[in-house]
Amino acid sequence: MIDPRAMVSEQASIAPGVVVEAFARIDADVVVGAGTVIQSYSWLRGRTRIGRENRIGPYAAIGGPAQVRDPSAGHLQIGDNNRIGEYVSIHTGTAGGSTQVGNGCMLMAYAHVAHDCQLGDGVELANGVQLAGHVAVGQGAGLGGLAGVHQFSRIGRLAFVGAGAMVAQDVPPFALVCGDRARCFGINAVGLRRAGIDAVARKRLQRALRLVCQPSGEQRAIDELAELAASEGDPLLRELAQFVLLSERGVCRWVNRREARNH
């Protein structure tokens, strides 16, 4: 299943059933799980572990060193059943650190995942999305084409970042954000419906997001949200409150009327 024109190190660990197409390169210390397809001209290197049934597109650069002044090698761990498109680049973590990609993710053409990023299961990065170092993207979140995310920012579970958005603060779970700098326009209604979250819960989340994304003072908003979560007994509200409470960069602000008209 390995094309004779591919360059595969004898020190690489390749499971049965792996397909390596012509002119792909796999360096030493790379582990590839069963059923994975590595297409032509892609390059797998570094301390990289790739799970089962992944598909890695042509010219992908997987496991390259972190783009930092001191690129001491960390690790890269990619789970199972991921689709990684052409020209995607994913770097290892920095020294002692690790870049993680979960299961069932889709990374479309030209997306970049920098050192020490953490991607949960089911994450979708559209064409040209750029994640700076130490970004965390929660389960089921999606980012539209050409969106960019600042270092150490977090994208919450089931959130959606619109195409071309520039994210410099944390995006709360379940939120829809757009623009430069990204502002919250409400809930990710499509994503929440697909996840089976009913209309009543979606209305509560919409109200809660407006509360925590206002610039009037986060601590007061967190306190009010915590009271609301307790009174409603809603685990989604508790999740949102916990995310905001742990935010170090602050969360994206609610869009004002002028910004909304411009969109």
Structural tokens at position 95:
């020294």
Other residues' Cβ atoms within 10 Å of the Cβ of residue 213: 25
Q: Show which residues are catalytic.
A: 115-116, 133
Chain center to CA of 161: 11
Other residues' Cβ atoms within 10 Å of the Cβ of residue 109: 18
Q: What is the DSSP letter of 54?
A: -
Other residues' Cβ atoms within 10 Å of the Cβ of residue 180: 12
Q: How far is CA 126 from CA 100, 165, 167, in A?
A: 18, 12, 15
Structural tokens at position 54:
């992944």
| 2: three-class secondary structure by DSSP | strand
Structural tokens at position 133:
């170092």
CA distance 14 to 233: 49
Long-range contacts of 227-236 (CB under 8 A, 24+ apart): 228/204, 232/204, 234/201, 234/204, 236/173, 236/174, 236/197, 236/201, 236/204, 236/205
**What angle do the packed helices 199-212 and 235-245 form, to 10 degrees?**
20
